[in-house]
Amino acid sequence: MPVSSPTHPVEDSVSKVNDELAVGSDLKFQQRWWKFERIIWTIFTIFIALNIAGLFGRGPLAKARMRAADGSIDVHYERIERHQSPSVLSVQFGPNAIHDGKVQLWVSESLIRTLGNQRIAPQPETSALDRGGILYTFPATTPPVSVEFALQPASSGTANIALGVPGMRRVSAKVFVMP
Range(s) of the domain holding residue 42? 25-53
CA angle 143, 147, 150 (to 5 degrees): 160
R_g of the chain computed on alpha carbons = 32
Residues 96 and 127 in one domain: yes
Q: Tell whether pTM > 0.85.
A: no
Residues 151 and 174 in one domain: yes
* Residue where one domain finishes, among candidates 53, 72, 99: 53
Residues 115 and 147 in one domain: yes
157/143 Cα distance (integer angstroms): 36
Q: Are 74 and 172 in contact (CB under 8 A)?
A: no
pLDDT digits (tens), the chain, 179 positions: 566 667 776 666 666 666 666 666 788 999 999 999 999 999 999 999 998 988 888 888 889 999 999 989 999 999 999 999 999 999 999 888 888 889 999 999 988 888 888 999 899 999 999 888 999 999 887 667 899 999 999 889 999 999 999 989 899 999 999 98
Q: Is residue 20 part of a domain?
A: no
* Residue where one domain finishes, among candidates 34, 53, 72: 53
